[in-house]
Structure 1
Amino acid sequence: MLAAPLLFAALACAAPADPSPADARPADADQWPRFRGPDGAGVAAGTFPDTFTTDDLAWNAPLLGTGVSSPTVWGDAAFVTSADGPRRWLIRLKVDTGAIVWTREVTLNPDGPPAEPSLHAKNDPASSTPAADAERVFALFSDGERIVLSAFTHAGEPVWRRDLGPFSGQHGHGTSPVRVDVPAEDAPGANAVRELLVLSNDQDDDGGVLALDAATGETVWTAARDSREVAYATPVVLRRPGKPLALLTASGAAGIVALDAATGAELWRTGEFPARVVASPVIAGGKAWAQCGAGGAGKLLIGADLDTGEVEVERTRSLPYVPTPVAANGLLFLWGDRGVVTALDAETGEAVWAERVGGNYSGSPVVIGEKLICVTEDGVVTVLAADDEYRLLGKTELGAASSATPAVSRDRVFFRLEDRLVCLPLGPAPGD
């Protein structure tokens, strides 16, 4: 979804002081378990074609309703949310054929229809990307009064449901939940973990981050903070050998905030942004990057030290508002809402190149192999070289509107269009 997911498309126990180097790679690295894939990095292996036709698609699957959420993929299952008026659905499809395995309707208000949400023109009731692990899938929906988070098995059986209380925000909801494993000191075994489901929940009123037990839905920790307006950033995971697992979150009132993933304790914060935060944070060049904006344009991008939160880089020109940047090959790629793409040196923040590719964008770019891919709101897949020289490699029309970020799993890429999900086969990564 918005980089948040889209603009709208999109809180345990103490960790040991010295995690092993194996913690530097997520256990779900071969899946696409959340918004922007493993740890929220938006990077995948494979060979993406410069151009293709709709005849090259493996399948094209119509969905009930519409949505701006992105798909999530685990094993042979693709999960996506959708909505039509007061109805909300979580849908499972087969990744090889696109056949719908099951559809589950999620009830927001057990006593009657959900409240009519107030939505931005680019938002949709199905704006939150599901999260998944090996056993469960988690779907988040909101209306004008409440936020509801539901867990299902991969077979579609309900596991738990949490009403997380009221929601206040003129543009509607848009952030997505994420699954993380943290060390569990109170459990037997040297490698015991506690499974958490984490959600940023910054509203026009109270804000903060919430961690739930992924198996039961019970609250594990909360990290409250002031809120100035709804923020749409989805947390990203910071893994570094010898340091506790951390979550990077962002909001207008707090800036970038680093939290201990096991306890919710605040490690550092940069301080507030001057405008609304929609895009999610990015880790690149030894820094945490995040941006804010208004009126369809970015206003400020900062790069902060990962240990202290000290802001080391500030940039105010040629910035996206909604699309989340992506990093590869020592570069940070900023894909602007109105089609200007800028490559920055990820360590210094200096511009390497900037070019206008055209189109309007609400979804975020991803990197597949050595290529940078983003989809216009009109459903045009734009492909650039992900390196220090600007090269437009190709454009392909999918034939329907899209505000979602692509998902990638093994040898397939999935594009969420307004009312359907389509799948394109990928070539193997070089050397495979």
Structure 2
Amino acid sequence: MPAAPLLLAALACLAPAGAATADANASDQWPRFRGPDGTAVAEGAFPDTFDAKALSWSAPLLGTGSSSPAVWGDAVFVTSADGPRRLLYRIDAATGDLAWMKDVQVNPDGPPATPGLHARNDPASATPTVDATRVFTLFSDGERMVLNAYTHSGEELWRRDLGPFVGQHGHGTSPIRVDLPEDDLPEAESARELLVLTNDQDGAGGVLALDATTGETVWTTERASEKVAYATPTVLRRPGKPLTLVTASGSAGIMALDAATGAELWRTGEMPARVVASPVIAGGKAWALCGAGGAGKLLVGANLETGAVEVEHTRSLPYVPTPAAANGLLFLWGDRGVVTVLDAENGEALWTERVGGNYSGSPIVVGDAVVCVTMDGVVTALDAARKYRLRGTSPLGADTQATPAVAGGRAFFRLEDRLICLPLEPTAAL
């Protein structure tokens, strides 16, 4: 869509950049979809409302995409699709200046195929994942699903073709980077740095872990699959227990895996509809949703130790947006603008309110605010509290389906044709 006059001037500096700050503080990182470990929680004081004058910069992007930004130190990485081109950008977090843009190789013999996609999907829907020295992208054109690894300077390290992708609505899950604790390694030669991807297609499914350094397979956990699932794994860390990956799909429901080996720890069992939202950890439970037709059909909350389902809800549920959790609460932000908040410990519904708008991106928690963006680019902020309070709305001037990212005292919003930055005031972490 054409740029709205609401937004600020575009980037101009094209100087090359080296690696992003390798020792960036945790608050300077948003390394994957929904941030560190998939928690979607960040520091900062989010404004009730803001306008174009509050923005630091606006950086144009070729084509379009619904992937979210990933941030490490001074570098923001985002993907886009421009006709047959699949693009990866590195943009300076402080200035919006372009460091570099890469054409990502999906098909070495020519342009990518044209995938079949849902009307609300696009070829750049997978959020990149990043660590201190590398950035990883995932693209699928239906005929192939390809992972690429680059340095922060833009040099390609490896490319892994994972074969065809079969799904009625196209691809949509995102890879994540996971470091295994030394005590969790099953053998001395095992890879410690993993790149993990769920791969639930029509008629086949599973979870795949690659060596992040080489792209070689470390382990594969297969599971039956009838419909594509779009949930990105959440990482569960508990003192004295192995690092755990929590995944969700229609065939397995919520499923917990040992991150080092891929061994199944437990599963809740089949969900009655398609899984799009990612699992969330809150109140000593793993939560996941399924739905259809723009509405959630079932929410389950499972015991983290056994996988036993302890809570079920069937009303006022999201389908696409992943819930956010903070302050012992679970925020269910519906596709059609209805928000429900649960007590995460017992599953009791505390309030349900219609805030308006249509949503495809997921809510995040910034300080004491819960923030989500409508598909026509209006930022809505609520109190992250047991009582409902609408803090305000702020139009961004362009459509978006992406979830915001927050790192280094800045909020990044990926719009249909640009990336914009909003500086935040500092505040204590939740």
TM-score clears 0.5: yes
> What is the letter of the counterpart of residue 416 of structure 1?
R
Q: 1:323·1:362 contact (CA, 8 Å) conserved in 2?
A: yes
Structure 1: stretches of 5+ with no match in the other structure: 1-26
Q: Does structure 1 residue 319 correspond to structure 2 residue 317? A: yes
Match of 1:240 in 2: 238
Match of 1:364 in 2: 362
Q: Where do residues 311-350 of structure 1 align in structure 2 (5 Å cutoff)?
A: 311-350=309-348
CA deviation after TM superposition for structure 1 residue 187, in Å: 4.5
| Alpha-carbon separation, structure 2, partners of 1:238 and 1:402 | 29
Match of 2:202 in 1: 204
Q: Does structure 1 residue 62 correspond to structure 2 residue 60? A: yes
Structure 2: stretches of 5+ with no match in the other structure: 1-24
- Show CA shifts across 1:66-98 (max 9, x none): 100000000100000000121101110000111
CA change 1:187–1:431 in 2 (3 A) is closer
| Alpha-carbon separation, structure 1, partners of 2:37 and 2:84 | 32
Match of 1:139 in 2: 137
Q: 2:27·2:408 contact (CA, 8 Å) conserved in 1?
A: no
Match of 1:393 in 2: 391
SS in 2 for 1:103: strand
Q: Does structure 1 residue 425 correspond to structure 2 residue 418? A: no
SS in 2 for 1:134: coil
Q: Where do residues 273-352 of structure 1 align in structure 2 (5 Å cutoff)?
A: 273-352=271-350
Q: Does structure 1 residue 272 correspond to structure 2 residue 270? A: yes
SS in 1 for 2:53: helix
Match of 1:176 in 2: 174
Match of 2:158 in 1: 160
Q: 1:29·1:38 contact (CA, 8 Å) conserved in 2?
A: no
Q: Does structure 1 residue 100 correspond to structure 2 residue 101? A: no
Q: Does structure 1 residue 218 correspond to structure 2 residue 216? A: yes
| Alpha-carbon separation, structure 2, partners of 1:423 and 1:187 | 43
Which residue of the other structure, out of 45, 48, 53, is the alignment partner of 1:47?
45
Match of 2:253 in 1: 255
Match of 2:379 in 1: 381
> What is the letter of the counterpart of residue 32 of structure 2?
R
Q: 2:43·2:429 contact (CA, 8 Å) conserved in 1?
A: no
Which residue of the other structure, out of 61, 64, 69, is the alignment partner of 1:71?
69
Match of 2:14 in 1: none
TM-score under structure 2 length normalisation: 0.92
> What is the letter of the counterpart of residue 168 of structure 1?
V
SS in 1 for 2:325: strand
Moved over 3 A (4+): 27-30, 184-188
CA deviation after TM superposition for structure 1 residue 205, in Å: 2.0
| Alpha-carbon separation, structure 2, partners of 1:119 and 1:86 | 15
Which residue of the other structure, out of 148, 151, 157, is the alignment partner of 1:150?
148
Size of the aligned set, in residue pairs, is 404
Q: 1:245·1:260 contact (CA, 8 Å) conserved in 2?
A: yes
| Superposed CA RMSD | 1.6
CA change 1:431–1:271 in 2 (3 A) is closer
| Alpha-carbon separation, structure 2, partners of 1:278 and 1:344 | 20
> What is the letter of the counterpart of residue 60 of structure 2?
P
| Alpha-carbon separation, structure 2, partners of 1:193 and 1:243 | 19
CA deviation after TM superposition for structure 1 residue 113, in Å: 2.0
SS in 2 for 1:101: strand
Q: Where do residues 16-31 of structure 1 align in structure 2 (5 Å cutoff)?
A: 28=26, 30-31=28-29
| Alpha-carbon separation, structure 1, partners of 2:92 and 2:111 | 31
Percent of matched pairs sharing the same residue = 73
| Alpha-carbon separation, structure 2, partners of 1:347 and 1:387 | 15
| Alpha-carbon separation, structure 2, partners of 1:430 and 1:279 | 28
- Show CA shifts across 1:375-412 (max 9, x none): 00000000000001100010000000010000000200
| Alpha-carbon separation, structure 2, partners of 1:112 and 1:154 | 26
| Alpha-carbon separation, structure 2, partners of 1:329 and 1:129 | 27
| Structure showing greater relative contact order (alpha-carbon pairs closer than 8 Å, 6 or more residues apart) | 1
Q: 2:200·2:229 contact (CA, 8 Å) conserved in 1?
A: yes
